[in-house]
Structure 1
Amino acid sequence: MPSLPTLRTEAEPLGARIRRLRRARGLTQRELAEPRYDRGFLAKVESGSRVPSGDVLAHLARRLGLTADELRFGRPPGAAAELTDALETAYRELQQGGLESAEREFTRVEGRAFEYRLPEIECHARFYLGEVQWQRYDIPLAAQGFAHALELSEAASPRLYGMIVNRMAACRALSGDLGASVALVETALAELRAAGPVDPDAELALLTALIHPLIEMGALRRARRAAEEGRRTLASAHRKDIAARYHRQAAQLWQAIGLTERAEKDLSRALRLFTSIGYDRDAARSRWARGFLWRRMGRLDDAHAELLLARDLLAEAGSREGVLGATIELADVRRRQGAFDEAVALAEGIRPLLDRSPDIEARAEVLRLLGLIARAKGDLPGATGLLEEAADAQERAELRGALVATSLHLGDTLRSRGLLAEAVQAYRRGVRAAAMSDSGPLG
């Protein structure tokens, strides 16, 4: 696995830095050192033979018009603000498809933050480097990047820590380990709440991360609790991007339990928020989610138009993960509209992305889609094989909600072939999956 790009520079010795700054200001050693110290003492500091104490550094920094940390680490005035602004600007560029230039800027900022001893900014740059790999749909390398950021989590703000855990959990979920994804988030959430006053942005980021894996595990009551807690936290949150991600994720839960009007409202809020801050990729992902919702509601023409737009916008933003998801939904819409050949072509066109990814959920969705198309075309043996393969993958990954639906399709297909005993086994498999979930009425 390739390593993440990292920039490291040789630090300028402190004494040499003091000498350089003194000369740049046109000061003699005596003028800088007095009245508290003499020229000879400063000469030893500049040569490196004398290590300055904190009091000495504070005196010299004041004389040079700097803070002690700016002098100690060679940090230009305003460096922290400049690097933070550079990160946010580059992240917007990433959202708009500028992956390579954003990656270069994140790498530059990481190196400067290390040099200037700004660990929170260095952590944030590492997190965004993980986001680059996420956008490229390289989930193993993205997970490595987020773990790299987590190494500096003690210096990170609670909000940043919450976002790192959010993304690490998503990587685990995509790799088929839903239980580990949920456990990671629940542990982080418990620690956050036990530590004292809770940062609402951090709490909202963590609650948001729980919703999708819990839905896929069939744990709808737990997912709803997370969504309702998130809605209460939302009133205190400050970051628009975190609020927008909550709205988009909560919509998935409302849809799963039949509250489609509530889901539409949340997706509209997410789209408005992402658009207002220039997050084009995430705005397009909200359109993808809305197309998915409309497809589930039977609004196939609306879903087709929205998913086409979402796919094209995600392609412009360089989001391979988004293109994959939107294309799967688009193919299912075309299947439902009877355009079987086009649906197959769409599904086959994303196989290279699937082959490079550990995304079991997406892989199983494509298998089920192709199985349903095969059944519609009258190829019942082919449909059986594809649906069985999808069900096996979903069972291994604990995708219980999806397994219920696939088992039903598989049972119907086997029954159409006259294989009644096998059909009963398939139905029972779906019943077991439903029994292991809490997907009954939620009130």
Structure 2
Amino acid sequence: MPERDDPETVGRRVQRLRGERGLTQRQLAEPAYTPAYISTLEAGRVRASDEALRHIARRLGVSFEELALGRPAHLATELRLRLTEARRMLADGRAEAAAGRYTELLAEARSHGLPGEQATALLGLGECALETGELASAHAHFECAEEHLADASPAARAPAVRGRAVAHYLAGELRYAVYLLESTLDELNRGGLHDPDALLLLYASVIGPYMDMGAHARAAQAAEFALALAPRAGDPALIARMHRSVARTLLAEGRPAEADASLAKAAELYRQLQLRTELANCHWMRGYVHAQNGQLEAAEAELRQALDMLSETSAALYRSQAAVELADVLHRLGRPAEAADLLEGVLGDFSSERGAVHAAAAHRLLGIIAEDTRDTESAEEHYVRALSLLERAGAAGDLADLCRLLGDLLRRTGRTEAALDAYRTGLGHRTAPGTTTLGPAPAQPPL
């Protein structure tokens, strides 16, 4: 028997609808039932059969679902259409407006007992919070969505897990982000649940944390798996995200032309899909690739375009992160004052719990600029703050270089023992390149 409300609730609903239509119990009952049966049903003393409820629904001019569950006809379909509209608002960079719409839809889905639509609305709210940099709120929404999907397959839960992982990643909790993604990948692969979209989503998402942790070997392997899964995936936005993530591993392997080609594919897909924030992030990444390849003028153009696009959206955290990348390029172009002004303008957007890795990058660059002007006291302060942020985040990929900068500064100012301590700390982070202490890598997908 289909799920339905209890007999008393259904009885009151039948009585209300009958009164609204001006029908007597006899008129509602005939020709299949008796007025006494309708009276007993309205009093909640009998659980009507599906056949009886379908008859009564036809007489009342409502759907079986509306009579049995109180849901208007086609409610779930209409809600899904409106959820799609909210997703489009978010894609246009209107995160705050999208969050308001998702909140309304979540309330409607709750009032009508639609768990799937509740989970979708919660995922949308989580994505909005990620874009606006409200990481604690994002984590709460994704965690709640995962609870609604507790009885679903690991593949269905993958977007919620990925959302939680990204929230931890942006907060500087790299190791826990990797743990969430790796454990879910392991569950999918070892359990034979080889959903290409779910696997691609998780592999593309784990590349960034791997790279920041200095686990380049695992990042390259994840990129290899993602590329192999892409032809079987059905979501073009997901494929674009994969190309954007894979570009980082290609660049780390000394293949800048291939990295740029991968980003060009991603950008074209984002343009077709009209995903504005994602397209801006793609310009940001292309700027980073150009900068690493020594093409500084091209890097500045791409990063300024990313910054302009992100400034038109609610993506404050992403905008500040792109500004740090642009400041690095401006410094390398011989414009340190302009770079310092840009960094000072965005440092307030970061904290140890919000954008820690980019906050460290900002302090590192401000330290270098201070050293250039012989302000060693300010330089040391910035290096120490950057070191604290990176150690908390576990970002081993950047720690060794920062320890070298700090050691050189301490040595030049006559503090040899402190300089040696800094160098030793840096060496400790370079002893096992390309590895983590997370244990064995996840099981491989069937490729």
Letter in 2 for 1:50: V
Compute the displacement of 1:212 (Å): 1.1
The answer (yes or no) to whether the contact 2:65–2:73 under 8 Å persists in 1 is: no
Equivalences for 1:166-315 in 2 at 5 Å?
166-315=162-311
Change (3 A) 1:69 1:193: farther
Compute the displacement of 1:65 (Å): 6.8
CA distance, structure 2, for counterparts of residue 276 and residue 25 of structure 1: 50
**Counterpart for residue 107 of structure 1:** 103
**Counterpart for residue 14 of structure 1:** 10
Compute the displacement of 1:31 (Å): 5.2
Compute the displacement of 1:146 (Å): 1.2
The answer (yes or no) to whether the contact 2:66–2:72 under 8 Å persists in 1 is: yes
CA distance, structure 1, for counterparts of residue 300 and residue 77 of structure 2: 44
Any gaps of 5 or more consecutive residues in structure 2? 1-7, 436-447
Please state whether the residue corresponding to 2:429 is helix, strand or coil: helix
Deviates more, 1:248-257 or 1:348-357: 348-357
Equivalences for 1:28-427 in 2 at 5 Å?
29-30=25-26, 32-61=28-57, 68-154=64-150, 160-355=156-351, 357-427=353-423
Percentage of identical aligned residues: 35
The answer (yes or no) to whether the contact 2:28–2:56 under 8 Å persists in 1 is: yes
**Counterpart for residue 444 of structure 2:** none
Compute the displacement of 1:376 (Å): 2.0
CA distance, structure 2, for counterparts of residue 238 and residue 64 of structure 1: 43
Give the counterpart of 1:435 among 431, 437, 445. 431
Deviates more, 1:285-294 or 1:16-25: 16-25
Deviation per CA, 1:175-220, whole angstroms, max 9, x where unpaired?
2322211111112122233444422111111112211111111111
Letter in 1 for 2:408: D
- TM-score of the superposed pair, with normalisation by structure 2: 0.87
CA distance, structure 1, for counterparts of residue 174 and residue 82 of structure 2: 35
Deviates more, 1:243-252 or 1:430-439: 430-439
Compute the displacement of 1:63 (Å): 5.8
The answer (yes or no) to whether the contact 1:83–1:121 under 8 Å persists in 2 is: yes
Compute the displacement of 1:288 (Å): 1.2
Deviation per CA, 1:403-423, whole angstroms, max 9, x where unpaired?
122123223333444545544
Compute the displacement of 1:292 (Å): 1.4
Please state whether the residue corresponding to 1:436 is helix, strand or coil: coil
Deviation per CA, 1:365-393, whole angstroms, max 9, x where unpaired?
11101111112222234323322331232
Deviates more, 1:329-338 or 1:412-421: 412-421
Deviates more, 1:375-384 or 1:115-124: 375-384
CA distance, structure 2, for counterparts of residue 71 and residue 232 of structure 1: 49
Letter in 1 for 2:270: F
Please state whether the residue corresponding to 1:97 is helix, strand or coil: coil
Deviates more, 1:25-34 or 1:224-233: 25-34
Deviation per CA, 1:59-107, whole angstroms, max 9, x where unpaired?
4446667664343222223222221121121122123233333222111
CA distance, structure 2, for counterparts of residue 194 and residue 39 of structure 1: 59
CA distance, structure 1, for counterparts of residue 189 and residue 40 of structure 2: 50
CA distance, structure 2, for counterparts of residue 38 and residue 170 of structure 1: 60
CA distance, structure 2, for counterparts of residue 228 and residue 62 of structure 1: 57
CA distance, structure 2, for counterparts of residue 180 and residue 172 of structure 1: 7
Please state whether the residue corresponding to 2:194 is helix, strand or coil: coil
Compute the displacement of 1:165 (Å): 0.7
Deviates more, 1:142-151 or 1:409-418: 409-418
Please state whether the residue corresponding to 2:172 is helix, strand or coil: coil
Compute the displacement of 1:361 (Å): 0.9
CA distance, structure 2, for counterparts of residue 25 and residue 259 of structure 1: 73
Letter in 1 for 2:148: L
Compute the displacement of 1:55 (Å): 4.5
Compute the displacement of 1:350 (Å): 0.9
**Counterpart for residue 6 of structure 1:** none
Count residues in correspondence.
Answer: 429
Please state whether the residue corresponding to 1:151 is helix, strand or coil: helix
The answer (yes or no) to whether the contact 1:124–1:160 under 8 Å persists in 2 is: no
Please state whether the residue corresponding to 1:435 is helix, strand or coil: coil
**Counterpart for residue 445 of structure 2:** none
Any gaps of 5 or more consecutive residues in structure 1? 1-11
Compute the displacement of 1:46 (Å): 3.3
The answer (yes or no) to whether the contact 2:155–2:193 under 8 Å persists in 1 is: no
CA distance, structure 1, for counterparts of residue 58 and residue 228 of structure 2: 47
Letter in 1 for 2:141: G
CA distance, structure 2, for counterparts of residue 175 and residue 103 of structure 1: 21
CA distance, structure 1, for counterparts of residue 49 and residue 31 of structure 2: 16
Compute the displacement of 1:30 (Å): 4.3
Please state whether the residue corresponding to 1:218 is helix, strand or coil: coil
Letter in 1 for 2:150: E
Q: CA RMSD in A?
A: 2.6
